């Protein structure tokens, strides 16, 4: 089930579903890999996130309808297995919103930490700002709404919670997630290749440091 819709005159959005699930993410990443192998002339880039894939193109090289035909013709590939390796991310659980998350969950701070660290997560997107790492699926008990008003500055390495997502800020930016900890892992460095530490489909686990 794929739906292709224009996102302006220089991009097409392919929608694979509307839920956060490992299967849908695998569909997105499988299709992206197949597309990058074919490399249609005029395709500039692909942006995967959760259940959709953006394809940007140069209309001087390929028209939107022509690219759309190529996307439709791409044989639905066999869903790839996501990588099995689990990356460990050391975290100092001392964020300013730990108490807020604990209160919302009705748990002790220690239980919030152990629950957050006991779960294996999947990276669903690198987006919003350079290297910001969206992970899921957060255990329901820890799900906490965003802050009523966002902070003007969140430090790089901050680990946060928003709804059923947990994520990491790679660069200083404004943000409304509940910050529960901090990692020293460098998540983004524009001079490194690849610049981002993680990519969609990676598995990771937070380890209290």
Q: How far is the CB of 60 from another protein (least distance, A)?
A: 8
Q: How far is the CB of 55 from another protein (least distance, A)?
A: 9
Q: Of 134, 138, 154, 160, which lies in the binding site for another protein, with binding defined by CB under 8 A?
A: 134
Q: How far is the CB of 98 from another protein (least distance, A)?
A: 24
SS3 117: helix
CB count, 10 Å around CB of 114?
Answer: 13
Q: Does 157 bind another protein (CB under 8 A)?
A: no
- Site size toward another protein, by CB under 8 A: 49
Stretch that binds another protein, among 70-78, 89-97, 105-113, 187-195 (CB under 8 A): 187-195
Q: Does 46 bind another protein (CB under 8 A)?
A: yes
CB count, 10 Å around CB of 177?
Answer: 25
Please, which residues have CB within 8 angstroms of residue 201's CB and are 6 or more apart in sequence?
25, 26, 29, 82, 83, 122, 123
**Degrees (nearest 5) of the Cα angle 105, 111, 113?**
100
Q: Of 22, 100, 195, 203, which lies in the binding site for another protein, with binding defined by CB under 8 A?
A: 195
Q: Does 125 bind another protein (CB under 8 A)?
A: yes
Q: Does 41 bind another protein (CB under 8 A)?
A: no
Q: Does 172 bind another protein (CB under 8 A)?
A: yes
List the interface residues with another protein, window 6-35 (CB under 8 A): 6-11, 13, 15, 18-20
Q: How far is the CB of 17 from another protein (least distance, A)?
A: 8
Closest to 151 measured CA to CA, from 141, 142, 160:
160
Question: Contact, 49 vs 125, CB < 8 A?
Answer: yes
Give all strands (DSSP E) within the chain, no chain letters: 3-6, 11-15, 43-49, 52-57, 86-91, 121-126, 133-136, 151-154, 158-162, 165-168, 173-175, 178-182, 203-208
Q: Does 177 bind another protein (CB under 8 A)?
A: no
Q: Of 83, 90, 96, 190, which lies in the binding site for another protein, with binding defined by CB under 8 A?
A: 190
Q: Does 170 bind another protein (CB under 8 A)?
A: yes
CB count, 10 Å around CB of 152?
Answer: 8
CA distance 129 to 166: 15
Residues lying near another protein in the complex (CB under 8 A): 5-11, 13, 15, 18-20, 44-54, 56, 59-60, 63-65, 124-132, 134, 170-173, 188, 190-191, 194-196
């Amino acid at each position: 089930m794929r739906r292709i819709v224009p996102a302006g005159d220089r991009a097409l959005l392919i929608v694979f579903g509307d839920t956060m699930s490992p299967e849908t993410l695998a569909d997105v990443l499988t299709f992206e890999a197949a597309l990058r192998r074919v490399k249609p002339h005029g395709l500039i880039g692909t942006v995967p996130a959760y259940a959709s894939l953006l394809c940007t193109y140069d209309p001087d090289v390929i028209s939107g309808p022509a690219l759309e035909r190529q996307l439709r013709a791409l044989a639905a590939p066999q869903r790839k297995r996501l990588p099995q390796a689990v990356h460990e991310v050391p975290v100092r659980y001392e964020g300013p919103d730990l108490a807020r998350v604990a209160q919302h969950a009705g748990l002790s701070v220690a239980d919030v930490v152990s629950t957050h660290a006991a779960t294996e997560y999947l990276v669903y997107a690198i987006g919003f700002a350079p290297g910001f790492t969206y992970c899921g699926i957060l255990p329901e008990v820890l799900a906490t709404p965003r802050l009523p008003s966002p902070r003007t500055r969140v430090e790089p390495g901050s680990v946060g919670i928003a709804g059923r997502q947990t994520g990491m800020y790679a660069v200083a930016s404004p943000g409304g997630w509940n910050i529960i900890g901090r990692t020293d892992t460098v998540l983004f460095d524009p001079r490194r290749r690849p610049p981002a530490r993680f990519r969609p489909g990676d598995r990771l686990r937070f380890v209290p440091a």
